């Protein structure tokens, strides 16, 4: 492999890694503002009630469909999803596409920066 091809591949790999960490580097303070779009259906306080959607306190790193007292769709319960950065990002982009059959009616967040910020906020709530 010549030096130009190697340098191009190295640059592409670096950019791919940087873009992955950029998603994880959201701003929790901005994410708190983005969460206002979620408040109508979700609470985020420890021990808070379920609403139209489940309470999502300390949801990061947890399996989907497991909040006590909330009646999930069969699709959510059977999804096998764990809420890590990647799965939260895909779900927040297009919930009904990521988990076909979910009860969540929200259309999603199109802006990657808003999803990253919201994920950072959700991860900060423990």
Q: For 3-124, which CATH superfamily applies?
A: Cytochrome c-like domain (1.10.760.10)
How confident is the model at residue 3, as a pLDDT?
A: 53
**108 has a pLDDT exceeding 60:** yes
pLDDT, average across residues 65-85: 97
Does the pLDDT of residue 23 top 90, yes or no?
A: no
User: In terms of pLDDT, which residue wins out, 9 or 114?
Assistant: 114
Gap between the Cα atoms of 119 and 113, Å rounded: 10
What letter would DSSP give residue 78?
A: T
**Burial profile 88-107: b = 16 or more Cβ within 10 angstroms, e = fewer:** bbbbbbebbebbeebbbebe
For 54-66, what is the mean pLDDT?
Answer: 97
Stated pTM of the model: 0.80
- Domain ranges in the chain? 3-124
């Amino acid at each position: 492999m010549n030096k130009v091809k190697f340098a191009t591949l190295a640059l592409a790999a670096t950019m791919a890694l940087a873009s992955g960490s950029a998603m994880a580097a959201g701003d929790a303070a901005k994410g708190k503002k983005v969460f206002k779009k979620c408040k109508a259906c979700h609470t985020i306080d420890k021990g808070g009630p379920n609403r139209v959607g489940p309470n999502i306190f300390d949801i990061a790193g947890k399996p989907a469909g497991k909040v006590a007292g909330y009646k999930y769709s069969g699709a959510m319960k059977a999804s096998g999803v764990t809420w890590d950065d990647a799965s939260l990002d895909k779900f927040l982009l297009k919930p009904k596409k990521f988990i076909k059959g979910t009860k969540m009616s929200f259309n999603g967040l199109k802006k990657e920066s808003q999803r990253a910020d919201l994920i950072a906020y959700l991860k900060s709530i423990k």
